[in-house]
């Protein structure tokens, strides 16, 4: 315990709704972390599928949990922030988890007093691929999300002052980081792979058009001819791959995606 005497307290938040098939693995990933000053907050949206029973199974390991209706994922995330007390906050949605049990210990091995946001690589996986994706260059945050929110830690103070904007259904996390970046807050990129992100069940993975539209409205590029062309091109690619996954044999689709991510495949 001596090694954690002056270590910052970390709050990990999981929001879930009817995620009975996903929630237990996420809980185990968080309560299994080797880093000690961690609190765990779970906000359930009023699940009726058995999710609450699994939460109760581990409630002795959970600092605070609640199950009640909300206005969606970002409303639940805002609610959770008001319940946590850590210096840093990570949002680990149901179905996702930390890359390994030493992630938080490795990220906070060194003092990060000068940083407001810490972000790193994410391990994305689905039935076709397993790939570690590196964050894009920080300056590109002006154009699009450069890392997954699961693979980041944000100072709680900033989350209280900059709540997720509920008018964005898919990209309120991008709106948060876009605004923090342009307000001059310090972002630190860690080489530590932070999260396992299950691609297919994510809300943004099923709503390519809305996510891309939110993105352009946030960075004020909606309606600009150049950006609109890119927007429709990306939407076309999104729905092409989305439908190919339904139409092509699994082995062929896997080969296509492995070629796409060849440089990053593990």
What string of DSSP letters covers 150-172? GGEEEEHHHHHHS---TT-SS-H
pLDDT at site 261:
67
The reply to whether 237 falls in a domain is no
CATH number at residue 132: 3.90.550.10
Alpha carbon distances (Å) from 141 to 29, 76, 192, 238: 29, 25, 20, 20
Residue 25 lies in a domain: yes
Q: What is the pLDDT of residue 236?
A: 81
pTM, two decimal places: 0.86
pLDDT at position 264, please? 54
pLDDT of the residue at 4: 59
Instruction: Give the pLDDT confidence of 47-83 residue by residue, as tens digits.
Output: 999 999 999 999 999 999 999 999 999 999 999 999 9
All residues at 6 or more sequence positions from 187 whose CB lies less than 8 Å from its CB, including other chains: 115, 116, 117, 118, 119, 138, 141, 180, 181
Give a yes or no: residue 82 inside a domain: yes
Angle at 136 between CA 204 and CA 23, to 5 degrees: 40
Residue 140 DSSP symbol? G
> How many of the other CB atoms lie within 10 Å of CB of 74?
23
d(CA 202, CA 225): 29
Q: How many domains does the chain have?
A: 1
Separation of alpha carbons 55 and 52, rounded Å? 5
Question: Does some domain include residue 177?
Answer: yes
Low-confidence ranges of the chain (pLDDT < 70): 1-5, 200-209, 260-266
Residue 225 located in a structural domain: no
Kindly state whether residue 178 falls inside one of the protein's structural domains: yes
122 part of a folded domain: yes
Whether residue 29 is contained in a domain is answered as yes
What distances in angstroms separate CA 85 from CA 12, 88, 202, one per listed residue? Answer: 10, 9, 27
Note down the domain range covering 145: 2-201
């Amino acid at each position: 315990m001596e090694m954690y005497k002056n270590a910052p307290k970390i709050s990990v938040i999981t929001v879930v709704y009817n995620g009975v098939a996903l929630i237990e693995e996420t809980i185990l990933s968080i309560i299994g972390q080797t880093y000690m000053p961690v609190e765990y907050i779970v906000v359930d949206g009023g699940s009726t599928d058995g999710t609450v029973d699994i939460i109760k199974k581990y409630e002795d390991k959970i600092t605070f949990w609640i199950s009640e209706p909300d206005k969606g994922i970002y409303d639940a995330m805002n609610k959770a922030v008001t319940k946590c007390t850590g210096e840093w906050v990570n949002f680990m949605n149901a179905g996702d988890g930390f890359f390994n049990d030493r992630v938080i210990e490795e990220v906070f091995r060194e003092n990060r007093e000068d940083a407001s946001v810490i972000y790193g690589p994410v391990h994305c996986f689905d039935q076709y691929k397993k790939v570690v994706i590196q964050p894009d260059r920080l300056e590109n945050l002006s154009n699009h999300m450069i890392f997954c929110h699961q693979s980041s830690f944000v100072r709680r103070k900033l989350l209280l002052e900059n709540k997720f904007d509920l008018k964005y259904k898919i990209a309120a996390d991008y709106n948060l980081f876009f605004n923090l970046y342009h307000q001059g807050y310090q972002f630190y990129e860690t080489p530590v792979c932070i999260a396992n992100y299950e691609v297919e069940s994510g809300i943004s993975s099923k709503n390519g058009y809305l996510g891309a539209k939110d993105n352009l409205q946030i960075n004020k590029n909606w309606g600009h001819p150049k950006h609109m062309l890119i927007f429709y091109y990306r939407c076309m690619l999104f729905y092409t791959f989305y439908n190919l996954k339904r139409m092509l044999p699994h082995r062929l689709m896997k080969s296509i995606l492995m070629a796409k991510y060849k440089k990053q495949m593990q």
